[in-house]
Amino acid sequence: MSSELLVDLGDDPPTAQLGQLKLATIEDQQWPPDEATLTKSDVSQCFDAGSPHLPWDHPFYDIARHQIIEVAGDDNFGRKVIVFNACRMPPQHQLDHHKLLMYLKGTLDQYVESDYTLIYFHHGLTSENKPSLSWLRDAYREFDRKYKKNIKALYIVHPTMFIKTLLILFKPIISFKFGRKINYVSYLSELEDVVKCEQLLIPTRVKEYDNKLRASLKPAAQPPMSPPRSPPLPNQVFGVPLELLRQRSPDGDPVPVVMRDTISFLSEQGLEIEGIFRRSANVTLVKEVQLKYNSGAAVNFREMEDVHLAAVILKTFLRELPEPLLTFKLYNDIVNFASVSGESQVTAMKTLLESLPEENYASLRYLITFLAQVSANSEVNKMTNSNLAVVFGPNLLWGRDNAMSLSAIGPINNFTRALLDQQHMVFT
């Protein structure tokens, strides 16, 4: 993996290289007329979708249906992961690039207050679906400091000479700080240091291309494959079903020890920390704490005095459960929950949650009760119920394929927000 933007292009200057790339100017594109101009309020409203699938008349239906942009949980540092798939971009004349930009901004608006990672799968970008250079320049300028401040890394997977040349040309307008965040990834296995590839729902075309790249190398030059999942340790805690953790617990407590440890510590020292749950943690420390738990050793967060580490460990534990806390069984009910009338929502939530296995219900109640304490201090920590829902929604429920479309995340976050708002009535 490389973060070096300067590459050897031979004797030709970058401008000559660019001419060979045959980039069209934005004036050369035959854009279809926009049906309507999207304002900022329009964009905001578009991301309150109440269905896992956008209806055909939704303003962003023609963008969302391509699944160009996805959200894929948290990375190994506890940061939200946004994925951009170039191979899913249709030909230029079939895609409204202005809407695509607004859709991307609407996605990032939900996460820019938190640390996040952007992964760009470059394979599949061709002369037919490649946006103009002018559009790319304007898109970069459209993303102001709000979007660039908390992006901790941009990973460009399978970079070509085109993308490297493009970054050189853009270097005069790319800030030094942002340039340091750009990393080239030659093979999918290199991403394992950042995020578990199985949660990314990588397009088949990208996987096949990666296999071809590997096959073209001499055996001695073969990059390592993604490590196989190791068998669970005797005392493993992460990635283990809640039912099994309860069986192992000396006192039979249905709430896992990781949740009890982290929430106890955060209740004492994290309630007044601004941006709690929005910051990432040192990945080495995260792995060390996970190893301690999986080895059966006791973990004392009070000795470490790192609130953000405990917060990331809590989110990581929830995300690594083999089945989400809210279970696959309730997935469809929750993503369609907006169809339940307002006066019936508390009763509906109680009915849904009471159908959970005992371990899931107890753990969810324990977590939500704590998050209500966090929200009660939102004037100091800035974590309202809405902000907490954005952070925890994707860690409480996901589809069986791990990754989720943006149109499904909205309803999940809305359900989590409603649960936080009504927790005192739901858990009585």
What's the average model confidence in pLDDT over 114-129? 92
Note the pLDDT of residue 2: 60
CA–CA gap between residue 103 and residue 84 (Å, rounded): 12
Contact 158, 121 (CB under 8 A): yes
CA–CA gap between residue 318 and residue 102 (Å, rounded): 31
Q: How far is CA 392 from CA 59, 76, 128, 386, in A?
A: 27, 16, 39, 10
Q: What is the pLDDT of residues 305-320, one digit of tens each?
A: 899 999 999 999 999 9
Confidence of residue 234 (pLDDT cuts 50, 70, 90): confident
Write down the domain spans for the chain.
Answer: 60-216, 242-427
Helix (H) or strand (E) holding 70: strand 69-74
Find, among 129, 128, 123, the residue nearest to 163 by Cα. Answer: 123
Which tops the pLDDT comparison, 161 or 20? 161
CA–CA gap between residue 10 and residue 373 (Å, rounded): 60
Contact 67, 301 (CB under 8 A): no
CA–CA gap between residue 47 and residue 6 (Å, rounded): 38
Confidence of residue 232 (pLDDT cuts 50, 70, 90): low
| Residue 267 pLDDT greater than 80, yes or no | yes
Q: How far is CA 317 from CA 34, 109, 365, 380, in A?
A: 45, 25, 16, 26
3-state class (DSSP) for residue 66 = coil
Buried b (16+ CB within 10 A) or exposed e, 98-112: ebbbbbbbbbbebbb
Q: What is the pLDDT of residues 170-198, one digit of tens each?
A: 777 777 788 889 999 999 999 988 888 87
pTM: 0.71
DSSP 396: H
115's CB contacts (< 8 A; 6+ apart) are: 77, 78, 79, 80, 150, 152, 278, 279, 280
Angle of the 358-376 helix axis to the 257-269 helix axis, nearest 10: 10
Partner residues linked to 70 by β-bridges: 83
Helix (H) or strand (E) holding 257: helix 257-269
Give the helix ranges, DSSP H, for 129-174. 133-142, 145-149, 161-170
Note the pLDDT of residue 111: 82
Chain mean position to CA 63: 19
Contact 180, 384 (CB under 8 A): no
51-55, 147-151, 276-280: which range is least confident on average? 51-55
CATH of domain 60-216: 3.40.525.10
CA–CA gap between residue 278 and residue 384 (Å, rounded): 12
* Tally of helices (H runs) and strands (E runs) in the chain: 21, 5
Domain 242-427 has CATH 2.40.10.480: no
Which tops the pLDDT comparison, 391 or 231? 391
Confidence of residue 77 (pLDDT cuts 50, 70, 90): confident
Q: How far is CA 133 from CA 155, 167, 184, 257, in A?
A: 20, 11, 20, 52
Q: What is the CA radius of gyration of the chain?
A: 23
